[in-house]
Amino acid sequence: MTDPLTGRLLVAVPGLLDPNFRHAVVLVLDHNDEGTLGVVVNRPLEVDVDAVLPSWQRLATPPGRLFQGGPVGLDGALGVVLVSTTTAPPPGIDRVSGPFGLIDLDAEPETLAGQVAELRVFAGHSGWAGGQLEAEIAAGDWLVLDADERDPFSVAPEKLWSQVLRRQGGDLALLANAPEDPRLN
């Protein structure tokens, strides 16, 4: 059974001023008693995928850039893909939760080309020790929201934070228009 946080989004509240997570939208890839692993899905870098993984560039979802997945392990890469929810993913892809999977970036892209509809490559990841994320959620630093299958592959990632909040409706939709620094309001 998948943990209830795995496959969901962590959306930073406007008051979260840590520069690593300011206005961040994090896709949770794994959550258990030992900790949490995720990737920030709205931080494209000015580096094309082919600068570090040339054979994967043609499969990368536009804009074809690397994304900064978080402040941890910036020398490593994770590939997040969209997978069918009705069939088992092919070898080389592990289902995370729902429509999201992790792809083996050491595999030959040609063997998976016809089976990958969307691919984002993340330099680094976000991580929390056991209990740390739960404490941050309880303190009100993060909103835990359902992910849409398009979120990690957004064509306008710089607008994703606002879009995710806006689609929630009600009071959460109002947060989408929060000032850049709420302390100055």
Render pLDDT for 26-78 as a digit per residue (tens, 0 to 9).
999 999 999 999 999 999 999 999 999 999 999 999 999 999 999 999 999 99
Residue 17 phi, psi (nearest 5) = -100, -5
Show the domains of the chain with their CATH numbers.
9-184 (3.40.1740.10)
pLDDT tens for residues 132-155?
999 999 999 999 999 999 999 999
pLDDT of residue 3: 66
Residue 5: which of 123, 118, 103, 132 has the closest Cα? 132
From CA 41, how far away is CA 118, in angstroms rounded? 13
Say whether 111 sits in a helix, a strand or coil: helix
Contact by Cβ (8 Å): 81, 116: yes
pTM assigned to the model: 0.93
From CA 91, how far away is CA 172, in angstroms rounded? 39
- Neighbouring C-beta atoms of residue 170, cutoff 10 Å: 6
Bigger pLDDT: 54 vs 117: 54
pLDDT of residue 85: 80
Q: Is the pLDDT of residue 184 over 70?
A: no
Q: Mean pLDDT over residues 4-24, rounded?
A: 94
Place of tokens 């997945």: 69
Q: What is the separation of C-alpha 157 from the centre of its chain, rounded to a whole number of angstroms?
A: 10
pLDDT of residue 89: 86
Confidence band (pLDDT; 50, 70, 90) for 1?
very low
Q: Would you report the helix, strand and coil content of the chain in percent, each value rounded to 5?
A: 25, 35, 40
Confidence band (pLDDT; 50, 70, 90) for 185?
low
